[in-house]
């Protein structure tokens, strides 16, 4: 496992990614340009929950000493063996933080993006070492999810892929290796199902609870497509759908209801209201 890890973006995903590496024994530095206190709290809360469930190997206090939050990529530890970016799904923003991170870390470090959909080759095209860059797509909530999708660009070195697979196994998760293509294997299928469920709501086929229950009990999905959209965040799903619409065609056109809810601030679980109400 990497001893030192950098995570850029301390939001929903970044905090979860930081938590699982800390729990695995790594020193983790989180770069957060927004509310650093909130980012630190997210990681600390997650670690406290893991400790309560007996899923932390060492004491909570000891684990907390391995987390630091900084406000700029330039403050990443130069010794980081792995840096994962988890900033919003905006290509220019991701390219910016990745190219800056590359200037800080050593030439043998691995750089990764947690993007849900964007081209890994595209994000890595400005890097000096695109061979040491790949997608490490974690799922929400990171500590509870068993999967990491490893996305490889044509230029990703085979040794880097193997190193990443070993780290994923070290986190007690399963990897799937997927070729770089819009939405990879997971978002491409998951988002399509979510968008169709929203179109069904628009057409009045059934209400949200009925659509989700249909898939949960009828198809044995652990979570229906609308509940899953709420969990991911409607804003995050809209950004992914817009990108998949542009790259894969009209079947990914975002429904008006999704746009309206995002404009109205109904972003899902994180705001208390999406397609369902969250207490
Ligand atoms: P989020 O909005 O919760 O977190 C993003 C964080 O990045 C925020 O705290 C923001 O202040 C920070 N940030 C913005 N610019 C920054 C910069 N220049 N340097 C450092 N920090 C910066 O978003 P979320 O949901 O964590 O998504 C992050 C990425 O993970 C996106 O690419 C998304 O597509 C992907 N993803 C999201 C999943 C989800 O279920 N929400 C699941 C899997 C991947």
d(CA 266, CA 212): 18
Which amino acid residue places its CA nearest to atom 4 of ligand 1?
11
pLDDT (0 to 100) of residue 149 = 98
DSSP string, 162-184: HHHHHHHHHTT-EEEEEES-TTT
Query: pLDDT for 120-136, tens place per residue?
Result: 999 999 999 999 999 99
Query: pLDDT for 211-243, tens place per residue?
Result: 999 999 999 999 999 999 999 999 999 999 999
Element (H, E) at 238: helix 234-248
pLDDT exceeds cutoff 90 at 57: no
Question: What is the share, in percent, of the chain residues with pLDDT greater than 70?
Answer: 100
Pair 170, 198 in one domain:
no
Pair 260, 135 in one domain:
no
Kindly report the average pLDDT of the chain as a whole number. 97
Determine the structural domain holding residue 253 and report its residue range: 185-269
Ligand 1 in reach of 140 Cβ (< 6 A): yes
- The arithmetic mean of pLDDT across residues 271-276, rounded, is 98
- For residue 257, give both structure tokens: 């209801």
Pair 231, 166 in one domain:
no
Confidence of residue 252 (pLDDT cuts 50, 70, 90): very high
Ligand 1 in reach of 268 Cβ (< 6 A): no
pLDDT (0 to 100) of residue 87 = 98
Our count of domains for the chain comes to 2
Query: pLDDT for 92-125, tens place per residue?
Result: 999 999 999 999 999 999 999 999 989 999 999 9
Contact residues for 28 (Cβ-Cβ < 8 A; gap 6+): 4, 5, 6, 7, 18, 21, 22, 43, 66, 67, 68
Pair 53, 109 in one domain:
yes
- The arithmetic mean of pLDDT across residues 265-275, rounded, is 97
Question: What is the share, in percent, of the chain residues with pLDDT greater than 90?
Answer: 97
Pair 101, 239 in one domain:
no
d(CA 74, CA 80): 12
Mapping DSSP to helix (H, G, I), strand (E, B) and coil, where does residue 206 land? Answer: coil
Question: 16 alpha carbon to ligand 1 midpoint, in Å?
Answer: 11
Pair 207, 240 in one domain:
yes
pLDDT (0 to 100) of residue 187 = 92
Question: 19 alpha carbon to ligand 1 midpoint, in Å?
Answer: 15
Ligand 1 in reach of 115 Cβ (< 6 A): yes
Q: Which of 47-61, 150-164, 186-200, 224-238 has the lowest mean pLDDT?
A: 47-61
pLDDT (0 to 100) of residue 271 = 97
Confidence of residue 279 (pLDDT cuts 50, 70, 90): confident
pLDDT (0 to 100) of residue 156 = 98
Pair 111, 240 in one domain:
no
The CA–CA distances, whole Å, from 123 to 1, 134, 152, 153 equal: 25, 9, 12, 10
d(CA 131, CA 165): 16
Ligand 1 in reach of 273 Cβ (< 6 A): no
ipTM above 0.95, yes or no: yes
């Amino acid at each position: 496992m990497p001893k030192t890890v950098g995570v850029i973006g301390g939001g929903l995903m970044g905090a979860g990614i930081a938590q699982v590496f800390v729990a695995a024994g790594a020193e983790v530095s989180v770069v957060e340009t927004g509310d650093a206190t909130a980012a630190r709290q997210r990681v600390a809360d997650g670690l406290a929950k893991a400790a309560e469930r007996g899923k932390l190997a060492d004491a909570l206090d000891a684990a907390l000493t391995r987390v630091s939050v900084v406000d700029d990529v330039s403050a990443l530890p130069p010794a980081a063996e792995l840096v994962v970016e988890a900033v919003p799904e905006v290509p220019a923003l991701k390219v910016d933080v990745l190219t800056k991170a590359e200037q800080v870390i050593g030439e043998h470090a691995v750089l990764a993006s947690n993007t849900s959909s964007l081209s890994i080759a595209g994000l890595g095209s400005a890097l000096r070492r695109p061979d040491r860059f790949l997608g490490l797509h974690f799922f929400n909530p990171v500590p509870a999810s068993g999967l990491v999708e490893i996305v490889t660009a044509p230029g990703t070195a085979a040794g880097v892929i193997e190193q990443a697979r070993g780290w994923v196994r070290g986190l007690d998760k399963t990897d799937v290796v997927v070729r770089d293509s819009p939405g990879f294997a997971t978002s491409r299928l998951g988002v399509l199902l979510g968008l169709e469920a929203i179109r069904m709501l628009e057409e009045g086929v059934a209400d949200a609870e009925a659509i989700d229950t249909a898939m949960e009990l009828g198809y044995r999905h652990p979570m229906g497509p609308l509940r899953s959209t709420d969990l991911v965040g409607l804003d995050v799903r809209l950004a992914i759908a817009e990108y998949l619409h542009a790259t894969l065609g009209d079947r990914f056109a975002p429904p008006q209801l999704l746009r309206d809810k995002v404009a109205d601030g109904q972003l899902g679980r994180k705001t208390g209201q999406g397609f369902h109400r969250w207490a």
